[in-house]
Copies of this chain bind each other. A is one copy, B any other.
């Protein structure tokens, strides 16, 4: 098993982002998740494993079923990273606008 997956890499794939969307509001079995995508069950299984490896999903074994539940706290790292630069960027734009306004 790969030590510790990177959440940024995990969400790079659109299929995995869709899976997060699906699981955000409800816990689903692997099979049910698979029904929502037009790919084989092993493919879905692999994606889910990647999401689990970076803590975005917890897979709970119940009998022969795997119940997948979102653990979206791991998205905080992404949210903070992106927000940090977005704010920084907006401030720069504001400063620029003020400079232009002062020139009048």
Contact = CB atoms under 8 A, between A and B. Distances in A.
A81 B8 contact: no
A96 interface: no
Contacts of A24: 85, 88-89
Copy count, this protein chain? 2
Contacts of A68: none
Chain A interface residue bracket vs B: 20 to 34
A72 interface: yes
Contacts of A17: 8, 81
Given A8-B11, A12-B12, A14-B6, A86 B76 contact: yes
A24 B11 CA distance: 23
Interface in A57-92: 70-73, 75-76, 78-79, 81-83, 85-86, 88-89
